[in-house]
Amino acid sequence: MSERGCVHVVGAGLAGLAACVALAGAGRRVALYETGQHAGGRCRSFFDSELGCRIDNGNHLLLAGNRAALDYLGRIDALGTFEGPGEPAIGFADFTTGERWTLRPNAGRLPWWVLSRPRRVPGTRARDYLGALRLARAPEDATVAEMLGSDSVLYRRLWEPLAVAALNTAADQGSARLFWRILVETLGNGGTACRPLIPREGLSESFVDPALAWLRGRGAEIRFGARLRSLAFGSDRVTGLSFDDAALPLGEADEVVLAVPAPVAARLVPGLVVPDDYAPIVNAHFRCAAPAGAAPFAGIVGGTAEWVFRKPGVVSVTVSAADRLVDRTAGELIELLWRDVAKLYDFSDSPVPPARIVKERRATFRATPDQVRRLPGSATRWANLRVAGDYVETGLPATIEGAIRSGFAAAAVLLRSGDATPAAMPDHRSETPAMSQTSTDYQRALS
């Protein structure tokens, strides 16, 4: 093992954790470095002293069709930490009209559910859904609104809410091509792929803590409070890592996976082009219980809140592409968002419960066509350096699935170059042409 060198993974978000899990699982020696005192990046839980309970930093949705994420969870023995409904069902409430409905895709890939009025969006016809196929032929510069039209009931009640949530970008700015890839991997794979999976406790307890325990059990070195200041470069290799407290020279067989945020990666790696426009997300956490029998999450049309999540003892709200809200005070946001929660759950006579607002001003890259063109691949011009993160080209926007997929892709290339057995990597190839360009690393290594 020592003859093959050590893989130094910088950044303990999901991309870095996924790379470590894949590498350690294949027998590689791994060292993981994280600037902060916790792992998980944006996907983590913490104890909020104001609310007196643990909450998730953000509301990240895992679907049964997120194959890379499920492979990752399976490898760290964390699949049992999730629960979810037995069938795909997404509840919606339109506060403009007062209507409520549940979208119920059928399990198989042939979408006969659009023929059933009770299963589809009220006010839509089966042929309306065929318009989504225009996304498959979208020009590179096309936006979701341009390809789907913004004046239909289906757009307002389904396509726009899904696009904003998936891309963290307004639908009139978001990449049509990128949204098509999301639809292909979700609704395009049938309702079974759309079944939500909810952590029983929290994001850290499912995605992070089991991974750290798994890695430690396999001898991985994990260092928190290790801020990488610079990389030392030779003609074709990274020759050293310089942390705040020490410089670490690299041997000829050592390799590096840089799984840090995009701006940090651009500062550390000469010539690396990354997205430079970011969109905010606003989350609200209310210390109260949802009504008995409430769905795990629900979408709101025509309100301030967009998605409401039911969690143990907490109701959480997410607003994506929240430019219009991010500069409002916490008090204003609590009032606005609680108004929608109360309307959704018929809490009209209930006082506003204790609440916490979490603003992520630079949550993810803004998934416009211009920004999508700036997504880097995993490869660099240095043979022993790969990059990973939710901003790396995987065919997906900045999601849990995309971050994990990027970590697996980086690991796959390092394992291939080290003559690792291909079977050591999990098979999470998409059954559809959803990934493009530099996700080739990911596909080639698993083929």
Query: Are residue 21 and residue 109 in the same domain, yes or no?
Result: no
Residue 340 domain flag: no
The full 3-state SS of the chain, as one line of letters, equals CHHHCEEEEECCEHHHHHHHHHHHHCCCEEEEEECCCCCECCCCEEEECCCCEEEECCCCCEECCCHHHHHHHHHCCCHHHEECCCCCCEEEEECCCCCEEEECCCCCCCCHHHHCCCCCCCCCCHHHHHHHHHHHHCCCCCEHHHHHCCCCHHHHHHHHHHHHHHHCCCCCCCEHHHHHHHHHHCHHHCHHHHCEEEECCCHHHHHHHHHHHHHHHCCCEEEECCCEEEEEECCCCEEEEEECCCEEECCCCCEEEECCCHHHHHHHCCCCCCCCCEEEEEEEEECCCCCCCCCCEEEEECCCCCEEEEECCEEEEEECCCCCCCCCCHHHHHHHHHHHHHHHHCCCCCCCCCEEEEEEEEEEECCCHHHHCCCCCCECCCCCEEECCCCCCCCCCCCHHHHHHHHHHHHHHHHHHCCCCHHHCCCCCCCCCCCCHHHHHHHHHHC
Q: Are residues 128 and 209 in the same domain?
A: no
Does 95 lie in the same domain as 162?
yes
Residues 226 and 147 in one domain: no
Task: Give a yes or no: residue 385 inside a domain.
Answer: yes
169 and 114 within one domain: yes
58 found inside a domain: no
Q: What pLDDT is attached to residue 418?
A: 62
Same domain? For 157 and 135 the reply is: yes
Domain with 24 in it: what CATH number?
3.50.50.60
For residue 168, tell me if it sits in a domain.
yes
Residue 12 lies in a domain: yes
Report pLDDT digits (tens) over 181-223.
999 999 999 999 999 999 999 999 999 999 999 999 999 999 9
Assess if residue 32 is contained within a domain.
yes
User: For residue range 98-156, what is the model confidence (pLDDT) as tens digits?
Assistant: 999 999 999 999 999 999 999 999 999 999 999 999 999 999 999 999 999 999 999 99
- Determine, yes or no, domain membership for 60: no
Q: What is the pLDDT of residue 427?
A: 43
Domain end marker among 194, 219, 252: 194
Per the structure, the complete domain to which residue 183 belongs is given by 90-194
Confidence (pTM): 0.91
pLDDT digits (tens, 9 = 90+) for 338-361: 999 999 999 988 899 999 999 999
Same domain assignment for residues 386 and 434:
yes
Residues 97 and 137 in one domain: yes
The reply to whether 215 and 248 lie within a common domain is yes
Looking at the structure, do residues 185 and 209 belong to the same domain, yes or no?
no
Domain count, the chain: 2
Tell me if 118 is assigned to some domain: yes
